[in-house]
Structure 1
Amino acid sequence: MDYGLSLGGLHYNIVLVIMAIIILLCLCALVIVVLSSYAILQLITDNKYRHLPPGPWPLPVIGNILNLSKLLHRSLAHLAEHYGPLMTIRLGTSLCIVASSPSTAREILQRHNSSLCGRNPADAWRGAGHGDNSIFVLQPHNKWRLLRRLGTTHLFSPRRLEELQPLRQDAVRALLQDVLAESGAASGSLVSIRRVTYVAMVNLLWRAIFSNELDETTAQGLYDCMREAVTLIMTPNISDLFPVLAEADLQGVRRRMTTLLPRGYQLIDRQIDQRLRARQFGSGNHTSRPNDFLDVMLDMWEEQQQHHYCDVTINRDLMRVFFMDLFVGASDTSSNTIEWALAELLHSPKTMRNLQQELKTVLGSKAQVEDSDIDKLPYLQAFEWTLPEQVERTSVDMTEKFGLVLSMRTPLLAIAKKKM
């Protein structure tokens, strides 16, 4: 009896081992099929886009991820030294074009921005439906053109910038006071240039849009929201590397963005509600209105409701997303630029002394630089991006420039090089 049970147990174990071997062989075969299919697909894709820039040979599935380090800009700059100012890399299954010279970056970001925008955005922008109205994400169609025209005409036009000059001077004075206050708070204390410049830029933009001061509580809430949003957008995300997995949101980046963005929306909604109440009780008295950027948007909203045209629907969702984009883009970019510029100056004492001497010569007894002084500072204007001598200043479609063909869904990156 015991002998029969042993044979039965042995037979059962043999069956399990055979099944395990079969499953293992099936998995190996599946992996081989997947890798072979990927290799064939990559060869077909490379043949289809054979005019793409050169780049490191990608590994199956993961692409060129192993070629990159935590210091992404240094990794890309190192690769650019070998493959040239315009190169192709694959991040997972996503194809990416990297521009690392002034000429290529200028062609992409300035001369042909409208024809090369509308690329695949970071999956994080889809949080809270932000991407439906975001100028960073929209394709270059009617809504995108309207938002861009509004910002260019009513916020960044020469006339409007001239009107906002007193606000900029106030912002600079407040910035200097904050730096002096923080540096004098304790002997040898450190000052976060990024934070103080970020707060100054947000406050300036807030006053330009809403015509009121940004109180400390709102400023801190907006600052925290913007910093977290930028961090989430810049976080390496599996959904961006492998778009087929985007719907699963494996890292939860989109879910966190969905929770985060409404915090910023609430601050903007409060300003919209206050202005709507003021307009309602003002009984149409236009002379008492600030006529700022918010008023421009609200006027267009009311006009659209009265005439019932809807080429592009202007509503609360569009306004608050647009305002949020302005705060994220303008404020973060400016604060980073100032921080890096100061860092480079600290590493170049000679350049710092030349700038200081020029400021003393031009300003004289004035304590602060004004807009009219900038043209008188030639050393400050010493850097300019120009096209190579062999490239004529003609209207060239970037999709055909450099002998390359870029798919409209291929993302583009530009890397700034140190100029000092």
Structure 2
Amino acid sequence: MALHILFTWLALSLPLLLLLLSVKNFNNKRKNLPPGPPSLPIIGNLHQLGHLPHQSLWKLSRRYGPVMLIRLGGIRTVIVSSPGAAREVLKNHDLDCCSRPRLVGTGRLSYDYLDIAFVEYGDYWRELRKLCMLELFSTKRVQSFRYIREEEVGSMMESIAKSAESGIPINISEKFMALTANVTCRVAFGKAFQGTEFDDRKFMDVIHEAVAMLGSFSASDFFPQFGWIVDRFTGLHSRLEKSFRSLDVFYQKVIEEHRNANKSHEEKEDIVDLLLKMERVKTELAGVQLKKDHIKAILMDIFLATVDTSAVFMDWTMAELARNPRAMRKVREEIRSCAGNKKWLVEDDLGGLKYLKLVLKEALRLHPPVVLLIPRETIGHFKLFGYDIDPKTRVQVNVWAIGRDPSLWEDPEEFVPERFEDSQIDYKGNHFELLPFGAGRRGCPGASMGMAVIELALANVLHSFDWELPEGMTEGDVSMEEGAGLVIFKKVPLTLLPVKPLRKIDAWQDRR
């Protein structure tokens, strides 16, 4: 009886379904949609993404063009792979496509708050963004944390100096990760991560897991109606929840410690202090008073956008220099010439390091911290190079592909810092050939904070030591294999031998 009813319902519904499909196809044909590879039923083009989606999409874009339409499960996604198309999306039509795909409440994540980078566009996001730009990451605020950057770089140099005495190669990837974690923790809540409730390894594992989970390919992302069932079955949902729960406990403890602390006037104000002060004076965000969950969302943004990205980028930069001895010598000579007899460099010394800035630009071109900018979602219809882009379409900019486009760059796979010597191109979102931090409304608000750490750390690392490859290795043996994730890391950690310290590295605390 039940089967009879089911077949009867299908027989009656089939003509209606066919009619709806035909109407949809007719409407699609009337629109001028971007070109793209043929898709399969249900999964669309998911099977074509491969282990490293940014590379797979780059290869497809070379065939179908810089504006390419693919279907990821049930989600239409436009892939942008040229400076001109990126300018249209991130500048000329920034308002039309500045929202985010919804993660909270879809089974992807059940928390009431989320990293600002993933919040949907609206009044709440605009208020959070304004707070970050005017209060937390302003030029004045970044400069106020200069002493933290200098002290933590000094601690890293002391650690490297001790390792150099043993003559054993060090995992410099770990040194950079510890540095960025310590700087971020001290900026955010006043103490290095070694002083937290987590031990060193556990803290870094929590951060890595959270970044990995946000960058993972979730079924609920591509099949919003039923994908969450698959995520629960595979364990992805529980891993994501566990990761965010660990961070939530951590943030809660930090907030409570700051509320109960009796700081003297001489003690420096950190970001949690500032946010709690705003909470006390009843600062409002989009008509809602700033509360604990808003503070946690901001802390989430600081941690997940800073720790991994800065450390991984320094790792790639040192790997490129290790593979290119000529560039290594040139940047080292510039730094040592500028430093003179100084035992170390402070931020006032960095202005004259022109070649170091070229090195950083070239490394950002080849190894942007986030190779596919976090997906945007359109909120209105617009034309992109004559193609129709509908609302609720996802848009991703493949900055990795733009950085290696042979029509833009001569010998694009080669590390040649001199290519920027007479160029006005910068990485601040004004030039769409180089977009490591995005642009427009969704550009990274903490880029200046991250680059301040990177420039100071690399200047001192190159000033104080010559860096050699482990015995038996040549430049060609340095692995440049990428590991998949939201942040593309070196799959094989970088191990180098620090030799010939220029001078005894005295306690950096003497500077204060």
Equivalent position to 1:324, from 285, 288, 300: 300
- How has the CA–CA distance of structure 1 residues 179 and 408 changed in structure 2, closer, same or farther, with 3 Å as cutoff? farther
Q: 1:106: how far off? A: 5.5
SS in structure 2 at match of 1:215: helix
Q: 1:211: how far off? A: 2.0
Q: Which residue of 1 is the match for residue 181 of structure 2?
A: 202
Q: Which residue of 2 is the match for residue 265 of structure 1?
A: 248
CA distance in 1, matches of 2:228, 2:386: 36
Q: Which residue of 2 is the match for residue 333 of structure 1?
A: 309
Give deviations 1:42-93, integer Å, cap 9, x for gaps: 7356437x34432212222221123222122221121122222332221112
Amino acid at match of 1:134: D
Amino acid at match of 2:61: A
CA RMSD of aligned residues (A): 4.1
Matched, 1:311 2:287: yes
SS in structure 2 at match of 1:304: coil
- How has the CA–CA distance of structure 1 residues 399 and 266 changed in structure 2, closer, same or farther, with 3 Å as cutoff? same
Q: 1:38: how far off? A: 9.9
- How has the CA–CA distance of structure 1 residues 288 and 413 changed in structure 2, closer, same or farther, with 3 Å as cutoff? same
CA distance in 2, matches of 1:412, 1:254: 24
TM-score by length of 2: 0.63
CA distance in 2, matches of 1:63, 1:151: 38
CA distance in 2, matches of 1:258, 1:251: 13
Equivalent position to 2:76, from 85, 91, 95: 95
- The structure in which a higher percent of residues are strand is 2
SS in structure 2 at match of 1:87: strand
Q: How does 1:47-58 map to 2 (within 5 A)?
A: 47=29, 50-58=31-39
Matched, 1:169 2:147: no
CA distance in 2, matches of 1:110, 1:52: 21
Q: 1:291: how far off? A: 3.1
Q: 1:159: how far off? A: 0.9
CA distance in 2, matches of 1:121, 1:78: 28
Question: Does the CA-based 8 Å contact 1:39-1:60 persist in structure 2?
Answer: no
Q: Which residue of 2 is the match for residue 414 of structure 1?
A: 397
Equivalent position to 2:98, from 117, 128, 134: 117
- How has the CA–CA distance of structure 1 residues 37 and 375 changed in structure 2, closer, same or farther, with 3 Å as cutoff? farther
Q: Which residue of 1 is the match for residue 462 of structure 2?
A: none
Q: Which residue of 1 is the match for residue 479 of structure 2?
A: none
SS in structure 1 at match of 2:338: helix
Q: How does 1:118-267 map to 2 (within 5 A)?
A: 118-121=99-102, 129-130=110-111, 132-180=113-161, 187-188=168-169, 191=171, 193=173, 195-215=174-194, 218=198, 219-248=200-229, 249=231, 250-267=233-250
CA distance in 2, matches of 1:297, 1:191: 36
Q: Which residue of 2 is the match for residue 300 of structure 1?
A: 278
- The structure in which a higher percent of residues are helix is 1
CA distance in 1, matches of 2:24, 2:164: 56
SS in structure 2 at match of 1:380: helix
SS in structure 1 at match of 2:250: helix
TM-score by length of 1: 0.75
5+ residue gaps, structure 2, are: 366-379, 405-411, 416-512
CA distance in 2, matches of 1:290, 1:246: 47
Give deviations 1:18-54, integer Å, cap 9, x for gaps: xxxx9xx99xx9xx99997997577356437x34432
User: How much identity, in percent, do the aligned residues show?
Assistant: 25
SS in structure 2 at match of 1:89: strand
CA distance in 2, matches of 1:96, 1:211: 41
What is the aligned residue count?
381
CA distance in 2, matches of 1:402, 1:44: 22
SS in structure 2 at match of 1:381: helix
SS in structure 1 at match of 2:282: helix
Give deviations 1:213-259, integer Å, cap 9, x for gaps: 33255354332111111222222222222222134234332232222
Question: Does the CA-based 8 Å contact 1:125-1:254 persist in structure 2?
Answer: no
Equivalent position to 1:79, from 60, 66, 82: 60
Question: Does the CA-based 8 Å contact 2:156-2:179 persist in structure 1?
Answer: yes
Q: Which residue of 1 is the match for residue 269 of structure 2?
A: 291
